[in-house]
Amino acid sequence: MLRNRRVFSLMLDDRRAKLVQSRKRPGRYELSVDGIPQSVVSMTDPTELAYDYIRHIARAMDAAVEPGAPLFTVHLGAGALTLARYVEATRPGSPQLVVEFEPALYEAVITALPLPSGAEVRAVFGDARAIADAELPDAWVDARFTVVDLWDAAVIRHHVASQEFYRRVAARSAADGVVAVNLLDGHPFEYSRRQAATLASVFAHVAVVLDAEPNDDEGPLGNVVVFASDEPLDIVTSPDLLGTPRPHLLHGDSLTSWIDGARIMTDADGTDSPDPDDPIWD
Tell me, yes or no, whether 229 lies in a domain.
yes
pTM for this predicted structure: 0.94
Q: Give the three-class secondary structure for 149.
A: coil
- Residue 104's pLDDT band (cuts 50, 70, 90): very high
209-246 confidence digits (pLDDT tens):
998 888 877 777 889 999 999 999 999 999 899 888 88
63's enclosing H/E stretch is helix 52-64
CATH at residue 175: 3.40.50.150
The predicted pLDDT at position 1 comes to 41
CA of 48: how far to CAs of 43, 87, 90, in Å? 9, 12, 11
**88 domain-assigned:** yes
Instruction: State which residues form the domain around 76.
Output: 45-281
Measured CA to CA, the distance from residue 49 to residue 55 in angstroms comes to 6
Task: Note whether residue 29 is domain-resident.
Answer: no
Q: Which residues pair with 15 in a beta bridge?
A: 12
Number of domains present in the structure of the chain: 1
Residue 25 lies in a domain: no
Instruction: For residue 96, tell me if it sits in a domain.
Output: yes
Tell me the pLDDT tens digit for each residue of 44-72: 999 999 999 999 999 999 999 999 999 99
Among candidate residues 118, 158, 179, 162, the one with its CA nearest the CA of residue 274: 158
- Looking only at the bridges linking them, the beta strands covering 96-100 and 121-125 are parallel
Burial code (b: 16+ CB inside 10 Å, e: under 16) for 51-88 equals ebbbbbbbbbbbebbeeeeebbbbbbbbbbbbbbbbbb
User: Which has the minimum average pLDDT: 6-15, 126-135, 156-165?
Assistant: 6-15
Would residue 11 count as lying in a domain?
A: no
